[in-house]
């Protein structure tokens, strides 16, 4: 049982991060805090990909002397990492849009607290 947990510790970290992110988005009233939760959620997914590509004792996927290319086990899989570069860019863009919206909401209603916001909307 313990082995199961330890063996999948990267998965558990991902799940914990996702849970924290979800908690932030659902329970926090402040829109900025919700956005922080969103970022944590995305980071969880990104870290998952990164951990998947990690290999014990392997090196960066640049051809090195003494490590034959034919033995792929010597190299880490670069693809997930590169994918995550894109995902990080997406995350940044999302944050940008989110903050633009938040500024806009603040200018219109003068508050970022969701409850007050809903009161003012009604």
Partner 1 sequence: MIGSEIPALIPVTYILFAILIPVIGLWKREIVWHLSLLGTGIATLFSAWGMMHLIQTGETIRYFFGGWMPPVGIEFVYDGLAAFIVLVINAIAFLVLIHSKEISKVEFPGKKMAYYTVSMLLMLGFNGMVLTGDLFNLYVFLEISSLSSYALIAIGEKRAPYAAFRYLIIGTVGGSLYLLGVGFLYTVTGTLNIIDMHEMLPMVIGHSSVIAALILMIVGVGVKAALFPLHGWLPDSYTFASSTSSALIAPIGTKVAAYILFRVVLFLFGVELIDEQLPVTTIIGVFAGIGILYGSIMAIAQSELKKMLAYSSVSQIGYIIMGISLANPFGFIGAVLHILNHAMMKALLFLVSGSMRLKEGHSLITKFDNSYRKKYPWTMAAFTTAAISMVGLPPLAGFFSKWYLALGTIDNSNWLLLAVILISSLLNAVYFFRILEKVYLNNPETESSEETEILEQDEVGFSMMFPMAVMATGLLLVGIFNAYIVNVIFTMFPAGF
Name the site residues for partner 1 (rule: CB under 8 A): 22, 25, 31, 34-35, 38, 41-42, 44-45, 48-49, 52, 79-80, 83, 86-87, 90, 93-94, 97-98, 100-102, 104-105, 108-109, 117, 121
Cβ proximity to partner 1, 69 vs 93, nearer residue: 93
Q: Measured from the CB atom, is 64 or 72 closer to partner 1?
A: 72
CA 48 vs CA 4, 106, 112: distances in Å: 17, 34, 32
> If we measure between CA atoms, which residue out of 47, 46, 41, 35 comes closest to residue 21?
41
Query: Is-contact 75 60, C-beta < 8 A?
Result: yes
Q: Which is nearer to partner 1, 65 or 121 (CB)?
A: 121
In the chain, count H helices and then E strands. Answer: 5, 0
- The DSSP-derived string for 40-68 is HHHHHHHHHHHHHH--TT-B-SS--TTS-
Residue 29 beta carbon to partner 1: minimum distance, rounded to whole angstroms:
13
Q: Shortest Cβ distance from residue 66 to partner 1 (Å)?
A: 25
Question: Given the complex with partner 1, which of 18 and 67 has the nearer CB atom?
Answer: 18
């Amino acid at each position: 049982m313990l082995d199961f947990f330890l063996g999948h510790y990267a998965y558990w970290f991902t799940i914990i991060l996702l849970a924290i992110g979800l908690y932030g988005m659902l329970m926090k009233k402040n829109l900025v805090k919700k956005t922080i939760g969103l970022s944590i959620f995305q980071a969880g997914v990104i870290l998952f990909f990164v951990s998947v590509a990690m290999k014990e004792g392997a090196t960066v996927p640049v051809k090195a002397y003494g490590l034959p290319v034919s033995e792929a086990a010597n190299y880490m899989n670069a693809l997930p990492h590169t994918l995550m570069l894109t995902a990080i860019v997406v995350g940044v863009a999302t944050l940008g849009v989110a903050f633009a919206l938040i500024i806009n909401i603040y200018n219109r209603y003068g508050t970022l607290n969701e409850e007050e916001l809903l009161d003012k909307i009604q």
